[in-house]
Structure 1
């Protein structure tokens, strides 16, 4: 289908291209923007003037000259506003206040005693209110809230099914927008984590990525051709509920033998070993001290992680696997058994030029990615497909 548009639409698209070019590559000159975008210098100059007037771009200079007058350098104004990124976990609610470039300004977290909707909403609203109060003065203030949740989310921000929370059909976006009167984006936590890695972490410039969010459960953010893949109805990535044991343990999703029953924090309460702790942070401390049961448990988890990752590699043929979420902080004990199982079981050609790494953003990846989605909603990430 051909796409047509009037002059105003063309200008809007060009303005978005210029803004995101500056956002991703600043500092750079007008001439460099023209070169990178293919837009003529007069068009770039006019659009930059508008962006400066909107306080989204600032001029700082002069820069290096190749001859003649030194150019003024353009910077994306990351402090034009703030966003809040939230990850709702099974046992914890974590949140960050970020600038428009993903820089963390403040962090907060609460332990969750239960998953009852009124209780979780009360905690979430208090967290958001506290971060709003801490936001620095800026031209646009709080421009959005992004939330990553451990479950299936539709395009309207409704949490359709979150088995680890016991939630169904919760209009989380509607509830939060009514409370705070700012745009809210809701997505699966693994999709948000994939966006965090793609834009700020280990996966910059990667076209084919699998982000494995491993914590209280397991989910996957799938990047194909540089774009987030959500499937026919938006629910792709529920890999924690793929079966790896045909007659395995019963799962809260209604199935049996699901991957996350053997390779997530769910294992801590039902381990064959006598564990001295029941959170990843605590278990990491014991493993670092050489506690045998902690070491054996992490080794077992790493092997099961490797089995699931192998299935995904053989299915999607990615160039990069990033392990994120709470378990990314146990890389020292999970990495070897995971990579060993993958090396033993993955098809030969799928292993070529494949890299497996642990998130550089650690447990913050989902929060940063959720905040980034709110930034993109504010800036208007306009794409036209012909």
Structure 2
């Protein structure tokens, strides 16, 4: 009985500490008295937990605040520069890395583009960008607390990359590789899940609880937020809708299947259509920008190309809408830069093809974070993991 009582007291204390800490994060600056009133704890308990958080440098004091009749209270604030997080968007032909504080504010960023490199060659670029961001981090109590990497592929619950078809990767243990190199906790996640989380935390998805995030780059990935939770499926493989078949007799996909959605509605499709219409660029990474510039000049071929892409994009989105009945669909990643030319035909197709009752109260939006959704989502994953561990106590519980 003594063991159970001691353990229960420890668990309750850590839960209360997390509650106090999260209240300060959300509502700072805030006084001890206001925290006690909000969370329903007595003032002495709140003061004790606040003292621990101050000693851990996760929060600080500022003030005084406004008086409600007595002495002006000392206000508490979340120390968002107690540590820093690195978020990486590892694309098929680029790497974007950001250094953020613990609230997701971007402080530094680095980017590299490439074409048709091996895993080993990409790893060199990735490590260089991470090292540069670590070097740029200012001095802080906890330093760089985590590295999150979004990848365009299937990631299992152990964070191993089972397949990234557009990179030609299979069974890649990137997490271990980076942790051994930098001695910092690493999170590996599918890029569409990262993008969905980024939009929910910092972007246009803040107000909704059932969201489909469609990441349209060289491939297509889908992140699902269902009832405010990131849905990952039984083994972590959900969202691979870029590889749903929309043409039973279609072309062969890099995944091994045929007629996949991403063959018709991604940058991969844009490249094929450009070649078909004798539009060329020396750098495939810049093809989208080139096509956008042509569209701005009312080039007929570019306009027709975006129109065709948007209609195929709508086919997959209609299937998703009819399957999940979301509140919001967010279109993100690089193709969102062509919003001006794909939005109207896309919305027209959705309105004409989706079941009428699925369209009730449905919003179709484009990412407000543009190309940064994935990197910011990964930085947030790492920051949340660190803060959850810090605020709930990192010490081992010794039961006597």
- Asked if these proteins are the same fold (TM beyond 0.5), I'd say yes
User: Which residue does the alignment assign to 2:304?
Assistant: 296
- State the alpha-carbon separation in 2 of the partners of residues 40 and 100 from structure 1: 28
From the superposition, tell whether residues 220 and 25 of structure 1 become closer, same or farther in structure 2 (CA, over 3 Å). farther
Equivalent residue in structure 1 for 2:110, among 108, 111, 126: 108
- State the alpha-carbon separation in 2 of the partners of residues 276 and 283 from structure 1: 10
How far apart are 1:31 and its partner, in Å? 3.2
User: Which residue does the alignment assign to 2:353?
Assistant: 345
State whether structure 2 residue 52 is matched by structure 1 residue 50: yes
Q: Which moved more, 1:84-93 or 1:62-71?
A: 62-71
From the superposition, tell whether residues 29 and 285 of structure 1 become closer, same or farther in structure 2 (CA, over 3 Å). farther
Structure 1, residues 86-145: CA drift from partner, whole Å, max 9, x if none?
011111111111111111111111112323111011111111111111111111111110
User: Which residue does the alignment assign to 2:145?
Assistant: 143
Task: Answer with 1 or 2: which has the greater Rg.
Answer: 2
User: Which residue does the alignment assign to 2:385?
Assistant: 377
How far apart are 1:276 and its partner, in Å? 5.0
How far apart are 1:274 and its partner, in Å? 3.7
State whether structure 2 residue 279 is matched by structure 1 residue 275: yes
From the superposition, tell whether residues 42 and 254 of structure 1 become closer, same or farther in structure 2 (CA, over 3 Å). same
Task: Point out 4+ residue stretches in structure 1 off by more than 4 angstroms.
Answer: none
SS of the residue corresponding to residue 71 of structure 1 reads coil
How far apart are 1:257 and its partner, in Å? 1.0
SS of the residue corresponding to residue 380 of structure 1 reads helix
How far apart are 1:38 and its partner, in Å? 3.2
Aligned pairs for 1:10-25 (under 5 A) are: 10-25=12-27
The number of equivalent residue pairs is: 381
User: Which residue does the alignment assign to 1:228?
Assistant: 230
Answer whether contact 1:259 1:308 (CA < 8 A) is retained.
yes
From the superposition, tell whether residues 284 and 137 of structure 1 become closer, same or farther in structure 2 (CA, over 3 Å). same
- For structure 2, the residue ranges without an aligned partner over 5 or more in a row are 393-400
TM-score computed with the length of structure 1 as normaliser: 0.94
User: Which residue does the alignment assign to 2:344?
Assistant: 336
Aligned pairs for 1:1-386 (under 5 A) are: 6-271=8-273, 272-275=276-279, 277=281, 278=284, 279-380=287-388
TM-score computed with the length of structure 2 as normaliser: 0.91
Aligned-residue Cα RMSD (Å) equals 1.9
How far apart are 1:262 and its partner, in Å? 0.8
Structure 1, residues 206-265: CA drift from partner, whole Å, max 9, x if none?
211111111111111101110000001111000100111121111011111111111111
Answer whether contact 2:270 2:309 (CA < 8 A) is retained.
no
- State the alpha-carbon separation in 2 of the partners of residues 327 and 65 from structure 1: 52
Structure 1, residues 340-370: CA drift from partner, whole Å, max 9, x if none?
1111111111111111111111100000000
